[in-house]
Structure 1
Amino acid sequence: MIVFPNAKINIGLNILRKREDGYHELETVFYPLKLQDGLEFIENHTGEVCFSNSGIEVGGNPENNLVVKAYRMLAADYSLPGVDIHLHKVIPFGAGLGGGSSDAAFMLKGLNDFFGLNIPSETLMSYAARLGADCPFFLENIPSFASGIGEKLETLPLSLAGWHLLLVKPPVEVGTKEAYAGVHPGIPDIRLREAIQLSVNNWQGSVVNDFEVGIFQRFPEIETIKEKLKERGAVYTSMSGSGSSVFGLFRAEPMWRDSDFPEGSFLWTEVF
């Protein structure tokens, strides 16, 4: 079976408070992109899991990969045969695009469908939440308002149809722990649920990402990308998630030069 896990962007991200368990309450909007990995699995007769990778190198112990963890999770509760898994990685790491979470969610869906496990949607959502706070989003893959630690989802009637996106991920990775270290939680004057109802033309300054202040101080090259997108005509610019990718929304096809962005940057464009 072959599936194509897609990326997402965060539109706005407010860190409201730190909980007693160490996690942070937040509110954000998840919006799906067409940027995709390729994920294939086939049944084997060894009873084992064999993981391989192409594209961006994943590295590390395969047992730590979220795709393999998704298989192990279902195999613990359902009778599954061994599988050969191949992941062609396109979505960059450390970008705030949810690539690993998407891979895991699509693995859960794929196993459920291919092997006829008939796992109800709510149960599949629970499995996904155990793998990552943003994993459940990729099961439905529609614009959503997320709260809690990102796992509480509400469908959002938001369409960016006709808008052009330019996304830039510099050769810098921002760790989640590092990102949260620079955040000062608090309730914003304009809550995201209200701000997102504004026209895209009015988002800048109202739909904000609380991670930006601390991360821009540590990685000024990321802030420079945001400013360059504005210079090139972006109506709205923001870092996605905890970074390091930055995106701009344009009314028309964006124009840029390679020299606008750090050497080695990953660039992605699409029309919604």
Structure 2
Amino acid sequence: MTGFTTADGWSAWPAPAKLNLFLHITGRRADGYHQLQTVFRLLDWGDTVHLRPRADGVIARIGGGASGVTEVDDLMVRAAILLKNACKCLQGADIGIEKRIPMGGGFGGGSSDAASVLVGLNCLWGLGLGEARLAELGQALGADVPVFVRGRNAWAEGIGERLEPIRLPPAWYLLASPGVHAATAALFQAPDLTRDAPPVTIAGFLSGAVLGNAFEPVLRCREPAVEAVFEALARVGTPRLTGSGSGCFVEFADRGSAETALAALPAGLLSSGTSAWLARGAERSPLLDAVEQHL
């Protein structure tokens, strides 16, 4: 039960999850940020952000947010305040969420939620900002926010902000989350993290070259739960890590193969606190469809 009904003035905005199909760290900038190469794959599964404009200028989170996240630290609230201040908007908003994406899994939940707030309130407040400006605002909230604002699968470089749309073949994914909240800042400081991977090209990626995730060996050594998920998923395919979180996935060409793999996972894995489910790769974000419906 959500309580966010249209009769009460609420509108719903999809906040899809993402996968990093690979992630390399190719260097480090003078300001300490790491240079990355990755491919963002959007999924047809994720959170739902609910928005309701209000005339008094107040930004309020209704019904709580992600577990353990205070309202002042919530990226959704911060996104609304950032947009409001940037446009000197006098309106406010109530913000609610149906949370499905696990925290700390590397599926991009917080960033996607923030992007949906930026995009949704831009429509509801009638601000008329373009995609580029919204992505620029989103980058101030997190390096992953722009890809969700733009809503397309993308090749990414820099700190993740330089995006080039990329066409990806249809795919289904078996996703697994061991419930471990990986601390991104600590992982970036890990002495065994590879920070000088040779750059690759889009053509190299599309050719089917096997490209890994720089954080995978670090997390597998540090987190027994992540190692256990990799060992279980290796029985049904080739497991990969997404982002710098603990979430893992296996790619399949069709739904039937993914369902067979899910059914073959050992019962002990799922009884140990790991969750597993299926999602389809999206050609574009359902958030873009929501925008078109509100125009």
Residue in 2 aligned with 1:250?
Answer: 252
The question of 1:259 aligning with 2:268 is answered: yes
1:181 counterpart = 2:189? yes
Give the secondary structure class of the aligned counterpart of 2:279: strand
Select which of 157, 178, 195 maps to 1:170: 178
Mapped partners of 1:145, 1:217: distance in 2: 28
Between the aligned partners of 1:73 and 1:37, the Cα distance in structure 2 is 21
Q: Which of 45, 49, 52 is equivalent to 2:59?
A: 49
Change in CA separation of 1:262 and 1:133 when aligned onto 2, cut-off 3 Å: farther
Output one character per residue of 1:101-145: Cα deviation in whole Å (capped at 9) or x when no partner: 000111000011112111122111110111110100001222100
Moved over 6 A (4+): none
SS in 2 for 1:7: strand
Change (3 A) 1:210 1:262: farther
Task: Measure how far apart 1:195 and its partner are.
Answer: 3.6
Distance 1:141 1:112 in 2: 15
Measured in 2, the distance between the counterparts of 1:136 and 1:258 equals 38
Deviations 1:30-81 (A, max 9, x none): 0001221111111234432221246x74334312111111111111132131
Contact 2:135-2:150 at 8 Å conserved across structures: no
Residue 64 of structure 1: aligned partner? 73
SS at match of 1:32: strand
Query: How far off is 1:174 after superposition?
Result: 0.4
Tell me, in whole angstroms, the C-alpha distance in 1 between the residues paired with 2:202 and 2:29.
Answer: 21
Give the CA RMSD over aligned residues: 1.9
Per mean C-alpha deviation after superposition, the further-off stretch among 101-110 and 175-184 is 175-184
8 Å CA contact retained: 1:6, 1:36: yes
Say whether residues 1:214 and 2:218 are aligned partners.
Answer: yes
Question: Counterparts in 2 of 1:233-248, with a 5 A limit?
Answer: 234=237, 236-248=238-250
Deviations along 1:126-174, one digit per CA (max 9) or x if unpaired, are: 1011111010000122210000000110011222x1x331110102110
Aligned residue number for residue 123 of structure 2: 113
Comparing 134-143 with 248-257, which one deviates more in the overlay?
248-257
SS of residue paired to 2:211? coil
Contact 2:14 2:48 in 1 (8 A): yes
- CA distance in structure 1 between the aligned counterparts of 2:136 and 2:98, rounded to whole angstroms: 26
3-state SS in 2 of match to 1:173: coil
CA contact (8 A) 1:53 1:88 kept: no
The answer to whether residue 227 in structure 2 is matched with residue 223 in structure 1 is yes
Question: Secondary structure of the residue that 2:77 maps to in structure 1?
Answer: helix
Does the aligned pair in 1 maintain the 2:180–2:225 contact within 8 Å? no
Tell me the number of residue pairs that the alignment of Structure 1 and Structure 2 aligns.
261
Bigger drift between 252-261 and 106-115 goes to 252-261
SS in 1 for 2:234: helix
Equivalent in the alignment of 2:147 = 137
Closer/same/farther in 2, CA of residues 230 and 198 from structure 1, 3 Å limit? farther
SS at match of 1:4: strand
**Which deviates more from structure 2 when the two are superposed, residues 116-125 or residues 142-151?**
116-125
Amino acid across the alignment from 2:76: V
**Structure 2 residue identity aligned to 1:239:** L
Could you tell me which runs of 5 or more consecutive residues in structure 2 were left unpaired when the two chains were aligned. 1-10, 282-295
* AA matched with 2:196: G
* Amino acid paired to 2:83: L
- Structure 1 unaligned segments of length 5 or more: list them: none
TM-score, scaled relative to structure 2: 0.83
Contact 2:22 2:213 in 1 (8 A): yes
Question: Separation in 2 of the partners of 1:3 and 1:99?
Answer: 13
Residue 212 of structure 1 aligns with an amino acid whose one-letter code is: E
**Counterpart amino acid of residue 268 in structure 2:** S
